[in-house]
Amino acid sequence: MKVAIAMSGGIDSSVAAALLKEADNEIIGVTMQVMSPDNRDTGAGILAGRIADKLGIPHQVVDLRDIFSRRIIDDFCREYRRGRTPNPCVMCNKEIKFGVLWKRAREMGADYLATGHHARVEQDKISGRYLLKKGADKRKDQSYFLCRLDQEQLGHAVFPVGNTTKEEVRRIAGELGLDAADGRESQEICFIPDDDYAGFLESRIPGAAVPGPVLDSEGRIIGEHRGIIHYTIGQRKGLGIAAGEPMYVIAIDAERNAVVAGMKEQTYGTELVAGDLNWIAVSPPQAPVKVKAKIRYGHAEAEATVTPLDINDVQVKFTKPQAAITPGQTVVFYDGDTVLGGGTIIKQAR
């Protein structure tokens, strides 16, 4: 089969390309350019090209800067202005990598698009559905970032390192002499230099960092913030409030340009409402269903009950309180190793 492999210059995608070639597939290496020429993705394209040459496969850089800016970066900025904390990597996989790049790959004659994600795809023999599964290395599992892929996308997705551990990936890279990068992790946002979120947002949205009140949970003004783009739910640092005990961000009110602060226990909640749902392994539930839910990539899964509210939204009620349930973030539902689906957190309830 003919497979396009998305190559970032990183160790996982480089080893994925090597494994595909070893299995006698016809391979095309493709690297997305999503930022300006002075950004690090240019270096990634050069490194990916060198690795492709070493593997003896063709390689090309695909310029996706315009559509990436419109669909991913603009949405990221809009969400922050609304006081929400989005996960652009989840949307990029859906809209850009397995959306636009997959379309380009098909135009090149590819039957499948492969990436270096630590995840797996299996087809259910009874239902025929394509199932998204966790990677074999649970510490590096990246199924969370792929929860928005639909059946067509999953049916043409290949994750060659999904059945290997990170240690095995490094061993294979060493044996093959692949000079691949192994630094940044997938939860870091590729288009924000040095993880300076506020600086990036201020450069894209003039006047975004407008100071405003810091309120307590009773609505009393207890300080002044530097602009809501500097804050997220659960944050402790940067509030600048003199109090008897540490204060944390417990809510962001974009309409009033206010940050609400409270004690640590106030950052915990037992319920959330999620919308913009994508169900993979099952049809949208018509009755309550028990799941394990993850409210951030780095957050542990927790027991919860998902109850449909209407055609678009669900209530997620946790058995135990969860820290920093954050509007804008992605919540993903699991049954063992299988991703049932996921959606966007709209609001939390305590």
Residue that is last in its domain, among 165, 193, 221: 193
If asked whether residues 254 and 189 sit together in one domain, one would say no
If asked whether residues 127 and 53 sit together in one domain, one would say yes
Domain range holding 144? Answer: 2-193
Letter string b/e over residues 6-20, b meaning 16 or more CB atoms within 10 A of that residue's CB = bbbbbbbbbbbbbbb
Residue that is last in its domain, among 262, 279, 306: 262
As a dihedral over the C-alpha atoms of residue 185, residue 188, residue 191, residue 197, rounded to 10 degrees, the angle is: -160
Q: Comparing 198-212, 248-262, 289-303, 334-348, which segment has the lowest mean pLDDT?
A: 198-212
What's the pLDDT at 25? Answer: 93
Confidence of residue 311 (pLDDT cuts 50, 70, 90): confident
What's the pLDDT at 238? Answer: 81
CA distances from 147 to 8, 112, 154, 292 (A): 21, 18, 10, 14
Q: Looking at the predicted structure, is the pLDDT value of residue 186 above 50?
A: no
How far is the C-alpha of 311 from the C-alpha of 50, rounded, in Å? 49
If asked whether residues 173 and 45 sit together in one domain, one would say yes
What's the pLDDT at 84? Answer: 94
What's the pLDDT at 189? Answer: 83
If asked whether residues 256 and 164 sit together in one domain, one would say no
If asked whether residues 181 and 271 sit together in one domain, one would say no
If asked whether residues 271 and 237 sit together in one domain, one would say no
Q: What is the CATH number of the domain that holds 288?
A: 2.40.30.10
Give the CA angle between residues 88, 89, 93 to the nearest 5°: 115
**Is 115 inside a domain boundary?**
yes
**Is 203 inside a domain boundary?**
no
- For residues 49 and 215, the answer to whether their CB atoms sit within 8 Å is no
pLDDT tens by residue, 264-275: 999 999 999 999
Residues with catalytic annotation? 92, 190
**Is 204 inside a domain boundary?**
no
What's the pLDDT at 185? Answer: 47
- Predicted model pTM: 0.93
Q: Which amino acid is at 70?
A: R
If asked whether residues 58 and 163 sit together in one domain, one would say yes
If asked whether residues 79 and 123 sit together in one domain, one would say yes
**Is 315 inside a domain boundary?**
yes
**Is 325 inside a domain boundary?**
yes
**Mean pLDDT, range 293-318, rounded to an integer:** 95
If asked whether residues 144 and 22 sit together in one domain, one would say yes
Q: Please give the DSSP secondary-structure letter assigned to residue 95.
A: I
Q: What is the CATH number of the domain that holds 220?
A: 2.30.30.280
If asked whether residues 18 and 70 sit together in one domain, one would say yes
Would you put residue 7 in left (φ > 0), alpha (ψ -120 to 50) or beta? beta
The tokens of 1 are what?
A: 């089969």
pLDDT tens by residue, 105-126: 999 999 999 999 999 999 999 9
The tokens of 315 are what?
A: 């209530």
Q: Which residue has the higher pLDDT, 276 or 207?
A: 276
**Is 73 inside a domain boundary?**
yes
Q: How many domains does the chain have?
A: 3
**Mean pLDDT, range 164-193, rounded to an integer:** 81
DSSP, collapsed to helix, strand or coil, labels residue 47 as helix
If asked whether residues 186 and 303 sit together in one domain, one would say no
Q: Which residue has the higher pLDDT, 311 or 302?
A: 302
**Is 202 inside a domain boundary?**
no
What's the pLDDT at 183? Answer: 54
Q: Looking at the predicted structure, is the pLDDT value of residue 3 above 90?
A: yes
How far is the C-alpha of 252 from the C-alpha of 338, rounded, in Å? 33
**Is 273 inside a domain boundary?**
yes
Burial label, 151 (beta-carbon count in 10 A; 0-12, 13-18, 19+) = exposed
Q: Comparing 136-145, 188-197, 221-230, 282-291, which segment has the lowest mean pLDDT?
A: 188-197
If asked whether residues 189 and 57 sit together in one domain, one would say yes
